[in-house]
Amino acid sequence: MTEIRSQLVGEFTGYNDGAVFRLTKGQIWQQRRYKYKYKYRPHVRIYSDGGRWMAEFDCMADPIEVVRASLPRRRHHNVRLQRL
């Protein structure tokens, strides 16, 4: 299993459909389903599971499927992107 452990840059407002998460390690990930929860700078573990990438936040009970995303180096967290 491959995994990434990091911290979210900025605030976390839950699993908003299509939200984008910028990590303190510089990576950007986009989620694939909705669930709301707020926490400032939660810790996150991103790991590969059967060919899918999953994100597990320390403030949420269940992991969520994500895809790697790319944005300009400006401050963009929890921003909607078009579906891939």
In a domain, 81, yes or no: no
In a domain, 17, yes or no: yes
**pTM higher than the cut 0.85:** no
In a domain, 55, yes or no: yes
In a domain, 76, yes or no: no
CB 79 within 8 A of CB 70: no
Query: One-letter amino acid identity for 59?
Result: C
Categorize the per-residue pLDDT at 84 as very low, low, confident or very high, splitting at 50, 70 and 90.
Answer: very low
> For the residues of 1-15, what is the DSSP string, one character each?
--EEEEEBSSEEEEE
Greatest CA separation for the chain:
32
Count of structural domains, the chain: 1
In a domain, 83, yes or no: no
Domain enclosing residue 44, as ranges: 3-69
In a domain, 82, yes or no: no
In a domain, 9, yes or no: yes
C-alpha of 64 from chain center: 8
User: pLDDT digit string (tens) for 16-65?
Assistant: 667 888 999 889 888 876 666 677 888 999 999 889 999 998 887 888 88
In a domain, 77, yes or no: no
